[in-house]
Chains A and B, each alone.
Chain A
């Protein structure tokens, strides 16, 4: 009975559904810290900047492997990159649909791939700047700069999207990414 009370106490008849495994959460927050550190306090000419960049690249690499061999919710198949689904989802949001998506919603999924790809571009161009072959090459530096601007824009959009979806669906997404579980109100549709 202790278990039963523990589950039903708090909000009336809400379900706590485990979604994000610990590895996904650790990678998410490590990547977020890496991006934050490298874009704000770390001097961009320093070796620390380089190392943090490689760590970020490694994090994305590990996440990609985990998306192949990991559990159901961490896999690519749980959030396929599909602009078509994103458009359909956008239309349903406008119509006031409050369906909860257990993993990323289709729009959020696109953002995930976008951020991973951007970090990879940043990492690769950043590495190229340290090699002899591309040292001082203008276009590499410009690409790195452009990718960084795009990343800042993407992260801002990502945070705004999380805030919007938390407001729309009533599921606190930040909490879900910290403790791993989404609290879904009774009777709310889950996809």
Chain B
């Protein structure tokens, strides 16, 4: 149902924004491409980096989407759940790395690190739900959001207090140094590992949600919580499991993020958290495939966007504005297409 509105100031401003953005994109792209600023190889590397980064965003975005699906709330603290997994697993990775175990048995070693990260993130996510969100399930919508903002601040600053403020460098695996040749294209081994692991984890999640009993319970709750309860589904337990699954994905993302960027610190949850939320909305929040797509799209936009659009517009040091591109995507998507790529407009 479309409501008929009179043309107002707001509509004019919205239209103006659309026009300006469209013109900027077209001119910037044209100018960059016609000037031939980057070679084909450089574009390709940016693209691959974008996909690697985007698959990390996608894993985090899945956590937002799962929670939104069952509770219709934005779990603002999810970025910090991600950070907590990466930080906690650092100590295991560090111990394994300095004892030489990680280089001797890279697959087993990485698996251990990954499991530690997933378990610790899941634990935080469950605690978060139990303490901060469950008592507020019937409260007005903004109340749990404010709690979530507080929880985000609380978790990140707790980690700062517990684990210290300094940036921690993950040990580098010897076998991950260098490039793979795939179809004659050299790709950094870390990127390959990250992309492949993310795909495997996402496939596992898809199977879990679509094929298992618990997954069906989750989908039932996202349809209608009260009816699901009447059908004998333990709502509290299923919501806890949803948070746990989201936390596990975030923990895995924490380790993959550390593999790409080689370092973790207490404040790292904020930006990837916001970006992953953007990805979730971009794909259509509550939609699992959408979150994956949104993550990849955002990752690529963020790595290519500044070079493609901004440098063509003559903006100096465009890569400084990477985050501006990501936030602009967030703002524009929420304003013009809040239901995302795969979603449908809500019937209000």
Chain A partners chain B: no
The residues of A with any CB-CB pair to B shorter than 8 Å are: none
Interface on B for A, CB 8 Å cutoff? none
